[in-house]
Amino acid sequence: MQRTIIVGASHAGAQLAASLRQEKWSDEIVLIGDESALPYHRLPLSKAYLADRSTLADLAIRSPDFYAKQRIHLLNATVEKVDRAAGHVILHNGDALPYDKLALCTGARPRRLLTPGADLAGVYYLRTAADCRQDPGGRQPRLSRRDRRGWLHRSRDGGLVASAGSGGHRARSDRPRPRACHRARGVGVLRPDPSGKGVNIRTDALVEALSGVGRVREVALADGESIPADLVIVGIGIEPNTDLAAAAGLAVDNGIVIDDQARTSAPDIVAAGDCAIHNMARYGRRIRLESVPSAGEQAKVAAATICGKQRKIAALPWFWSDQYHHKLQIAGLNSGYDETVLRGDPTRDGDFTCFYLRAGELLAADCINRPRDFMFSKRAIAQKLPTDRTKLSSPIAV
């Protein structure tokens, strides 16, 4: 009997395990995760879960019964090394676990703030469920119940815009959805009304230092302003977890390099999710997509590859986010555009779409509260349909 080991119980890891059974892999599947919980949705952590409106069980991607019925063995452990020559992974306790096929779905970690004072109490990162819970024994600070229920409702300043704003305090951010939405188009619409939500968004603000005695009390900006702060949540992006792959001799370049079939530079090892980067012909470069849809697509292709089937990563990148009463939906990637076409008025309306074109071809669309535009854009971009720019600007939905 053969064994497939999946390192990383992430969105990609959970989907890969399920897809292996769908692809008729009948042998052993071991899904290794360094969190004790079942694989769960991470996006609600900064919203419903942080606000105590849902439990971790509510966020589970699949139920415990699913893994049992599909004979997917969940192992709570940390993989310290991949020994390709021996064909096994070495766990944190020294155990060696043999594999026939290996999938790396190691995800990403928060980018650390390197300014002075970043190690003060009251400075947090939000990536896992443990980051939302009190964990006195952890090496990294956790968002304790005291901070969640006390500081989030009574503090003067903080750093998590969407969730913290609902708690009635002001938050700081460099700009709303900086990589996802055209700056000139999206900032005004996505900026909440400070009087209604208690949110104060600062654009083009550079943090130079955090200060306080024992606990953060102030944030110093590059322009000389000092902002009182009881709680700072850092959200400055993520870094792919590639250390395991690099140590194993796999090709790494801002992510674990994979081909269109999710294979790494070692043919018996695949990778998927936030940790993986691959060449996207449509955009002419290697891209690492940090999104749930992309993780799912890559995981499905990786499972097919493990089972000896020919399938390629080809789905159009798309993203979404809820910002208060606004729903932002993005189809495609807007890199390399030479023209934008606007439908709606961002300065007046609560809904609009910004289309991005290159040499007349539709590349991407940012859709604010316009689901019909989003569905049209996904189809038009994926199928490379002819685009009439005059119709794109029409107030009538496509």
- Map out the domains of the chain as residue ranges: 3-108+239-306, 112-234, 318-392
Query: At 356, is the pLDDT very low, low, confident or very high (cuts 50, 70, 90)?
Result: very high
Q: What is the pLDDT of residue 137?
A: 38
The predicted pLDDT at position 146 comes to 52
Q: What is the Cβ-side half-sphere exposure of residue 123, based on CA atoms within 13 angstroms?
A: 25
Mean pLDDT along residues 98-124? 93
CA 270, CA 276: separation in Å to the nearest integer? 9
**pLDDT score, position 390:** 81
If we measure between CA atoms, which residue out of 209, 228, 208, 232 comes closest to residue 218?
Answer: 228
Q: 257 near 264, Cβ under 8 Å?
A: yes
Residue 162's pLDDT is what?
32
Residue type, 53: R
Task: Give the Cα separation of 186 and 181 in Å (integer).
Answer: 6
Can you give the pTM of this predicted structure? 0.83
State the pLDDT confidence band at 100, using cuts at 50, 70 and 90. very high
Mean of all residue pLDDT scores within the chain: 83
Tokens at 178, concatenated: 């900086």
Contact residues for 183 (Cβ-Cβ < 8 A; gap 6+): 175
Query: Tens digits of per-residue pLDDT, 129-176?
Result: 888 874 433 344 455 555 554 444 433 333 343 333 333 333 344 444
pLDDT exceeds cutoff 50 at 84: yes
Residue type, 199: V
Q: In which band, very low, low, confident or very high, does the pLDDT at 321 lie, cut at 50, 70 and 90?
A: confident
Check pLDDT > 50 for residue 180. no
Is residue 13 classed as helix, strand or coil in its secondary structure? helix
Q: Residues of the chain with pLDDT > 70: what percent?
A: 82
- Is residue 108 classed as helix, strand or coil in its secondary structure? strand
b/e per residue 96-117 (b: at least 16 CB within 10 A): eeebebbbbbbbbbbeebeeeb
The whole-number average pLDDT for the span 2-20 is 97
CB atoms within 10 A of CB 183: 12
The one-letter amino acid code at 61 reads I
289, pLDDT greater than 70: yes
* Euclidean distance between CA atoms 395 and 398, whole angstroms: 9
Q: Is-same-fold flag (3-108+239-306; 112-234)? A: yes
Q: What is the pLDDT of residues 23-74, one digit of tens each?
A: 999 999 999 999 999 999 988 887 778 777 888 889 999 999 999 999 999 9
Q: How far is it, in rounded angstroms, from Cα 2 to Cα 238?
A: 34
The CATH class that applies to domain 318-392 reads alpha beta
Please provide residue 328's backbone torsions phi and psi, each rounded to the nearest 5 degrees. Answer: -95, 125
- Fold type of domain 3-108+239-306: FAD/NAD(P)-binding domain (3.50.50)
377-382 long-range CB contacts below 8 Å, 24 or more apart? 377/331, 377/332, 377/353, 378/316, 378/318, 378/331, 378/332, 381/316, 381/331, 381/332, 382/315, 382/316
CB distance 125 to 234 below 8 Å: yes
Low-confidence winner among 3-7, 18-22, 129-133, 170-174 (lowest mean pLDDT): 170-174
Provide the pLDDT for residue 302: 98
> Is residue 14 a contact partner of residue 39, using CB atoms and an 8 Å limit?
yes
C-alpha distance from residue 388 to each of 14, 97, 216, 385, 391 (Å):
41, 57, 54, 10, 5
Both tokens of 170, joined, read: 């002001």
Give 112-234's CATH code, choosing from 3.40.50.2300, 3.40.710.10, 3.30.428.10, 3.50.50.60.
Answer: 3.50.50.60
CA distance 361 to 387: 7
Greater pLDDT, 198 or 388: 388
131: number of CA atoms within 13 Å, CB side? 14
pLDDT, greater one: 201 or 307 = 307
Measured at the alpha carbon of residue 204, what is the angle toward residues 199 and 208, in degrees to the nearest 5? 95
Report the C-alpha gap between 86 and 13 in whole angstroms: 23
- What integer is the mean pLDDT of 117-126? 90
Q: CA dihedral defined by 63, 66, 72, 75, rounded to 10 degrees?
A: 20
CB–CB of 288/327 below 8 Å? no
For residue 202, name the pLDDT band (cuts at 50, 70, 90). confident
